[in-house]
Amino acid sequence: MARICAITGKRPTTGSIIHRKGQSKKSGGIGTHVTKSTKRLFRPNVQRVRVKLPSGQIKRMWVSVKAIKAGLVTKA
pLDDT, one tens digit per residue, over 6-46 is: 999 999 999 999 999 999 999 999 999 999 999 999 999 99
- pTM attached to this predicted model: 0.71
Checking if the pLDDT of 1 tops 70, the result is no
Distance CA 26, CA 29 (A): 7
Phi, psi of 39, rounded to the nearest 5 degrees: -75, 150
